[in-house]
Each structure stands twice: as structure tokens, then as C-alpha cells.
Amino acid sequence: MSEVIVITSGKGGVGKTTSTANLGVGLAVQGKKVVLIDTDIGLRNLDVVLGLENRIVYDLVDVVEGNCRTKQALIKDKRFDGLYLLPAAQTKDKMAVNPEQMKKLCAELKKEFDYVIIDCPAGIEQGFKNAIAGADRAIVVTTPEISAVRDADRIIGLLEANDISDPKLIINRIRMDMVKRGDMMNVEDILDILAIGLIGIVPDDEEIIITTNRGEPTVNDPKSKAGQAYRNIVKRILGEQIPIMDLDKPTGIKGFIINLFNKKS
């Protein structure tokens, strides 16, 4: 059964686009047919995060305006079988598309793909309304910051008001060193406040910046903790029961030695 999942957050810069890219690649690697839609018209970025920026011919606005067939606008990612991108227009604004058109487009794409994943723009205006119009479920991304959690709360309220019930939460960019010092809200604090189900936590990881610099997803990097976190979320989307990552466990050579001693004591 096909699903349309919107990735949203309210606040900008918390990792919606990075999450969309990594979950999309992760699902494709698992053998699913996936299309990613960038709905951030005027500020498109999913193309560069995926490394597909040089291959854009048509975009979302061309599709809804009928300037091309939907298939013509889809960019096939040659690295990952089954992964496609529908990029946003860069020269128009959010009003170039309306929620009705998005609903129609999502219904059309659902026939062809296992997963339609929508990268939502920041904010709660037209762009948000477009992004959620055709969605069956929602994943809300937040970081352990007061502003991001507040905006996530607002988004959860708006999703429920639009009959997208039971959204799931990704807590992104957790720094365990700060959590331990008591200088960063922990997972329990945030879940207690937002009162929604958790689909994954992603540690703050330099690898994300490095791989994004290269236009590669992190989800395939076996050494990256964030990559592992995204692989876990992909499996949870597919319905597997995977325990939430223990970020406290030290890794690397130092971690190996510490874990060795901890085991004996």
C-alpha cells in the first residue's frame, strides 16, 4: 500500500530537507519505489542536498500548470534504483501551487510509487498548506531547542486540525555531552511536552555536513551515527520494531576500550 508522508517542522533549519533526503534514499535502498517532492518553492534545496541540482529540467510548478507531463519532471537518481525527485521551482513563489493541485498530484504519484515523501517549507502559511494537503501521515522534525520545540507544538496542532492524526517525531541534532551536563533538553523532556510518538533520534554529526557538501546522503555511511539513526527510522517507517538508539554508548577505539571495561565491572 502506498503512502504519502510529509516531513515538516514549523521552524527552519532543523533538518527537514536532510531528513527527507536520507529517508528517501534509505527507503529506496530497501527496495521501495520512492519519489521526493520539494514543496519549498522559491527556496528549493532538496536538489542540492541530493546532488541532483544539475539535472533539473522541469519542476513542481511546471507539473501543476500542465507545462509538462508529471513523468517528464521526475529526476531519476542514477545511484539509487527506484529513487526520484520532483524539484521545486526556484523563480516562483508558494502561491504558484494550491492545496487542491497538490492533492491531485499526490493521488497520481501514489499509483506509481510506494512512498511519496514531501519536504515541507518552514512556516505555517501557503507552503505548509500545500505540503500537507495530500499527506496520509506526517513526520515532525525538531531539535532540542526551545524555539524548535515550540514551533513543533504549533505544527502538531495544525496537523491535527487538518485531520493528519498521530504524527511522529524525529528529534534531530542531539548532543549527548550537553544533555549529560544538563544543558540540553533530553528526549524524555521533549516527548513529555509534545506528547506524540517518537520515530527516531538523530545525534549531531559532522558527517552530515561533510556528506551534504558532496551531495551524498549520510544514510549509507556505515561509520556515521546519524546514518545509523536514519537507517533505523527507515525500518520503523517500514513497520519494523527497532529500539531507539542509545547515544550514550561511546564509539570508536576509545569507546571500544570503555565498553570493554564496563562489561567487566
Residues interacting with other proteins, by CB under 8 A? 145-146, 149-150, 153-154, 157, 179-186, 189, 193, 258
Share of the chain residues as helix, strand and coil, in percent rounded to the nearest 5: 45, 15, 40
Q: Residue 152 or 237: which CB sits closer to other proteins?
A: 152
Give min distance, CB of 199 to other proteins, in A: 21
Grid cell in block for residue 71: 513523468
With residue 215 as reference, give the H or E element that holds it.
none
CB closer to other proteins out of 166 and 183 = 183
Minimal distance in Å, beta carbon 251 to other proteins? Answer: 15
Least Å from the CB of residue 204 to other proteins? 15
In the chain, the N- to C-terminal Cα span, in Å, equals 49
Which of 2, 5, 44, 45 has its CA nearest to residue 24? 5
Q: State in angstroms the smallest separation of the CB of 216 from other proteins.
A: 33
Choice between 184 and 237, CB closer to other proteins? 184
| Bridge partners, 4 (sequence order) | 116
- CB closer to other proteins, 162 vs 220: 162
CB atoms within 10 A of CB 258: 14
